[in-house]
Chain A
């Protein structure tokens, strides 16, 4: 699986958009980009994933560059409850090939009042 690079920490003001970048320059054409977050003492929470196109759900938007070498997770209106470690992961798409998730160190997002 391709590796990802994320900034170790970021701050965001409450109510503003949080834009979390991720570099995955060695991503293959059959690998998805996944985002999870982990709030202290809880298991990782799935946020969103995409292959080529931008995606949006009730939690966030995922913007993937045309060359797929980087992506940005956007939390449109950050709240204090969005303070967490955010993980960007690339994962093989094939059946029975996409088992494990490989977590890096992630980005620690602090939302401040």
Chain B
């Protein structure tokens, strides 16, 4: 079946511009997560959506980062006034529910480069 889909796969933009990254989760998955992976670094949690509950935004690094999930499906991660340190691979994952026993399945990410 279809996995998690992310677009674009690559994005190059100038410092100071805003960017939007899209995630289409696996159909029927109620939980959705965003992570990022900087060059040579591990995966860092950003934000988590579960059903109609308030999202867990504890991993967002600054107020330039925001995310929304419309209709309980597609999610968009927005970075405003991008900085060079925002360059990273942004990964989206989804799971059947928020329980710890439900594995998260990842997309292949959006590689963001800030010039």
Interface residue ranges, A against B (CB under 8 Å): 30-32, 34, 41-46, 49, 51, 91-106
Whether A93 contacts B107 in the complex (CB less than 8 A), given A103-B42, A103-B43, comes out as no
Contacts of A92 in B (CB 8 A): 100
Q: How far apart sit A46 and B106, CA to CA, in the bound complex (Å)?
A: 8
Q: Which residues of A contact B91 (CB under 8 A)?
A: 43-44
Q: How far is the CA of A2 from the CA of B7 in the complex (A)?
A: 33
Number of interface residues of B (CB under 8 A): 27
Contact (Cβ within 8 A) A99 B50: yes
Which 9 A-B residue pairings sit nearest by Cβ, starting from the closest?
A98-B100, A43-B106, A93-B100, A100-B45, A99-B48, A103-B43, A46-B103, A103-B42, A96-B98
Which single member of B42, B93, B98, B106 contacts A98 (CB below 8 Å)? B98
Question: Are B99 and A95 in touch, CB under 8 angstroms?
Answer: yes
